């Protein structure tokens, strides 16, 4: 999926398609996390592969995360403004707190996608750091043991 596709899906509020398009990337990140948790990725060559994949996923997901944040915030503000204009046009007193709550509820699906993207971007960062540490440790270990 490209960033323009994501924007179009947000515009049409096709949230299920957004998540289904991102799910294969999320699944692969989960697989790498499970492998590292089980100690499978402690070999330098495997860790280098994970490092490359996680870096790519981080680069892929980061623009989507920024777009999701923007979409969530913009739509929340639009909904708030609509509620304010509605109250004013009907001659009702506008009360900010209930409108803020309604606007927050209105963007629940945007928040869900933003939170999923944030979680996986964060997971990539942690995985990248872990893999870098393992590779560095293995490299130092080889030097110490005279394997290089």
Q: How far apart are CA 4 and CA 107, in angstroms?
A: 20
Tell me how far CA of residue 11 lies from CA of 5, 15, 33, 53, in angstroms.
10, 10, 32, 30
- Of 115, 12, 122, 127, the C-alpha closest to 68 is 115
Confidence of residue 142 (pLDDT cuts 50, 70, 90): confident
Q: Which DSSP string do the residues of the chain spell out, in sequence order?
A: --HHHHHHHHHTT-HHHHHHHHHHHHHHHHHHHHHHHTTGGGSHHHHHHHHHHHHHHHHHHHHHHHHHHHHHHHHHHHHHHHHHHHHHHTTPPP-HHHHHHHHHHHTHHHHHHHHHHHHHHHHHHHHHHHHHHHHHHHHHHHHHHT--
Whether 7 shows a pLDDT value over 80: the answer reads: yes
What proportion of the chain, given as a percentage, has pLDDT over 70?
Answer: 97
Model-level pTM?
0.88
User: Does 147 score more than 60 pLDDT?
Assistant: no
pLDDT tens digits, 27-78: 999 999 999 988 875 788 899 999 999 999 999 999 999 999 999 999 999 9
Residue 146: pLDDT above 80? no
Q: Considering its fold, how many domains does the chain have in total? A: 1
The domain in which residue 105 lies consists of 3-145
């Amino acid at each position: 999926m490209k960033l323009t596709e994501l924007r179009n899906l947000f515009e049409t509020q096709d949230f299920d398609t957004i998540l289904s398009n991102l799910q294969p990337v999320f699944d692969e990140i989960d697989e790498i996390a499970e492998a590292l948790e089980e100690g499978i990725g402690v070999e330098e060559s495997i860790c280098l592969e994970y490092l490359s994949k996680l870096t790519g996923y981080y680069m892929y997901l980061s623009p989507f995360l920024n777009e999701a944040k923007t979409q969530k915030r913009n739509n929340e503000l639009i909904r708030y403004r609509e509620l304010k204009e509605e109250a004013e046009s009907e001659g009702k007193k506008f009360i900010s707190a209930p409108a803020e709550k309604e606007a927050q509820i209105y963007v629940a699906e945007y928040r869900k996608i933003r939170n999923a993207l944030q979680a996986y971007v964060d997971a990539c960062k942690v995985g990248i750091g872990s893999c870098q540490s393992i590779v560095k440790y293995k490299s130092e270990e080889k030097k110490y043991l005279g394997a290089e």
